[in-house]
Chain A
Amino acid sequence: MRNTTESMLDPGAAAYRCVLPAGEPWIREIRQDDVLRIVDLEGNQTADALFYNSHDYRDSYSAQDTIRAQRNIYPTTGTRLMSAENHVLLTVVADTCGQHDTLGGACATESNMVRYALDKRHMHACRQNFLKALMDWGHGMSKRDIASNISFFRNVAVTPEGGFSLEEAIYAPGKYVELRAEMDLLVLISNCPQLNNSCNEHNPTPIEILIWNGRSN
């Protein structure tokens, strides 16, 4: 049984709201103490995210440092997302799912060729989104800045015997995860366009992104 927690925040009081269609990137800076909510509007969607310290983009989200710090691979309420320089980037403050994914990373045209068939190269993928958004953002950011991301709403299973699988999506419409920024951050999200597996039920759908301003604004 997965533990879930609700948020007390009123969406009507959010400083920012945006519906992000499937297959689109989103990039924006948020401030320390801002609260970021990602809503899986229609259910069974995956939102891939990367986070960068606004004051030093080299200091970015690290999957291995995050899971090592919690001694657990599944983020949920209370999990601290860590940077490569051991800073707490964000804390999960509400989560109506109870489990997300730190290991599966993002789909890419190249990995789709490996995983499914060589003729899948033309299909849209999260890493295309990451690259486009980082180039548009500028500041010299490039492919080097794309490390293994966190995947909200994705259902991954690791067994004690070491098996690794992307399981069927299980989340109902309207589930959300909410994170408090522990420092000023650049947030990069790809609303996953994957059509080759069941992580989106072969039907990528929109997500909503909300931001509440924190104390420091």
Chain B
Amino acid sequence: MRSVLWEETIEPGSTWSHVLKRGTSLRMTDMQGGANVGALFYNFECPAERYNMSDTLKAQHLAYLKKGVVLYSDMGRILCSIIDDSVGWHDALGGCNDAALVREKYGETRYQESRNQCFKNAKDGFLVELAKWGLGPRDLTANVNFFSRVTVSEEGCMMFHPGNSMPRSSVELRAEMNVLTILNTCQHPLDPNPRYDPKGVRISIRKATPPGAEDPCRLGHPENVRGFTLTDRYFL
């Protein structure tokens, strides 16, 4: 096992951020099953460069994420690569819930009565965490939802699939740049569960083996060969 630098738990319905350094990885484990981890990614050195849903989907001809897929910035570079994954489908389309949706689905709570069990929403979680890094609403872009599966019918209808992630499922992202990573463990906005029931995840930060010439993420698509070239050039 590659050396684990540290481990911690992201509690249900909470937000976490860290600058994931190039050469390290983030492993997320859904201990209970049914977790959803919303994620945003920025180039820490210049946050105007950020994860771009459209460029990621177009480059890899996929509408979801899985092992071997990389996450592109809007500058043609690779922010991180999915180097391990026992789930097989992570949602790139569904976005995040917000205060109105949480109120409508789960009802109203206040800190006064509920303390830290009060209902959280992902959009406010993202915005507050972005503010800690000097960023704001203009920087809130399309997010990824790890562990969740949303498929699209021929007619374009979006369908959420409960039970996509089994207990102890995990996914591991290798940072290819120094990536400001923001994670949120609120429920997926299309999750039909009528109960407020977000799940926490266990995360570990590890030393990662750099992507060599034969790296499966690099070779997965001809586009990714070029994407890794552009990313490597950034550090020359």
A63 engages B226 (CB within 8 Å): no
- Contacting residues, chain B, for A163 (C-beta < 8 A): 61-63
Q: How many A-B residue pairs have CB under 8 A?
A: 136
Chain A min CB distance to B158 (Å)? 5
Given the complex of chains A and B, what is the CA–CA distance between A85 and B61 in angstroms?
A: 29
Top 9 closest A-B pairs, CB basis?
Answer: A105-B54, A64-B95, A110-B76, A74-B156, A164-B63, A58-B137, A144-B138, A158-B152, A162-B64
**Residue among B89, B95, B154 having the largest count of chain A Cβ atoms under 10 Å:** B95
- Chain A residues numbered 131-175 whose CB sits less than 8 Å from any CB in chain B: 142-148, 158-160, 162-166
A72 engages B143 (CB within 8 Å): no
Chain A min CB distance to B123 (Å)? 8
A64 engages B226 (CB within 8 Å): no
Q: Does A111 contact B (CB under 8 A)?
A: yes
Q: Does A84 contact B (CB under 8 A)?
A: yes
B61 engages A71 (CB within 8 Å): no
Chain B min CB distance to A192 (Å)? 13
Q: Does A184 contact B (CB under 8 A)?
A: no
B156 engages A164 (CB within 8 Å): no
Q: Does A113 contact B (CB under 8 A)?
A: yes
The residue on A at minimum CB distance from B74 is A108
Q: Does B4 contact A (CB under 8 A)?
A: no
- Contacting residues, chain B, for A85 (C-beta < 8 A): 137
- A162's partner among B151, B190, B226, B229 (CB-CB below 8 A) is B151
B59 engages A71 (CB within 8 Å): no
Q: Does B5 contact A (CB under 8 A)?
A: no
Query: Can you give 5 A-B contacts (C-beta < 8 A)?
Result: A62-B95, A73-B158, A103-B54, A113-B230, A118-B229
Q: Does B183 contact A (CB under 8 A)?
A: no
* Contact A144:B48 (CB < 8 A) given known A110-B75, A111-B72: yes
Q: Does B184 contact A (CB under 8 A)?
A: no
- Contacting residues, chain A, for B190 (C-beta < 8 A): 68, 71
B58 engages A105 (CB within 8 Å): yes
- B57's partner among A71, A103, A110 (CB-CB below 8 A) is A103
Task: Add 14 more A-B contacts to A64-B94, A118-B230, A144-B138 (CB < 8 A).
Answer: A64-B93, A64-B143, A65-B95, A68-B94, A103-B54, A110-B230, A111-B74, A114-B223, A118-B229, A148-B54, A158-B152, A159-B154, A162-B151, A163-B63
B52 engages A148 (CB within 8 Å): yes
The residue on A at minimum CB distance from B97 is A68
B158 engages A72 (CB within 8 Å): yes
* Contact count band on B: 35 or more
Q: Does B3 contact A (CB under 8 A)?
A: no
The residue on A at minimum CB distance from B153 is A160
Which residues of B are at the interface with A, using a C-beta cutoff of 8 A?
Answer: 48, 52-55, 57-64, 72, 74-77, 89, 93-96, 98, 100, 123, 136-143, 151-158, 189-190, 223, 226-227, 229-230
Chain A min CB distance to B200 (Å)? 24
Chain B min CB distance to A79 (Å)? 10
- B54's partner among A86, A104, A145 (CB-CB below 8 A) is A104
Given the complex of chains A and B, what is the CA–CA distance between A160 and B158 in angstroms?
A: 10
A71 engages B55 (CB within 8 Å): no
Given the complex of chains A and B, what is the CA–CA distance between A160 and B223 in angstroms?
A: 23
A68 engages B95 (CB within 8 Å): yes
B63 engages A148 (CB within 8 Å): no
A110 engages B74 (CB within 8 Å): yes
A72 engages B156 (CB within 8 Å): yes
B226 engages A114 (CB within 8 Å): yes
The residue on A at minimum CB distance from B77 is A110
A72 engages B155 (CB within 8 Å): yes
- Contacting residues, chain A, for B154 (C-beta < 8 A): 159-160
A103 engages B95 (CB within 8 Å): no
Given the complex of chains A and B, what is the CA–CA distance between A136 and B4 in angstroms?
A: 49
Given the complex of chains A and B, what is the CA–CA distance between A113 and B72 in angstroms?
A: 12
Given the complex of chains A and B, what is the CA–CA distance between A163 and B154 in angstroms?
A: 11
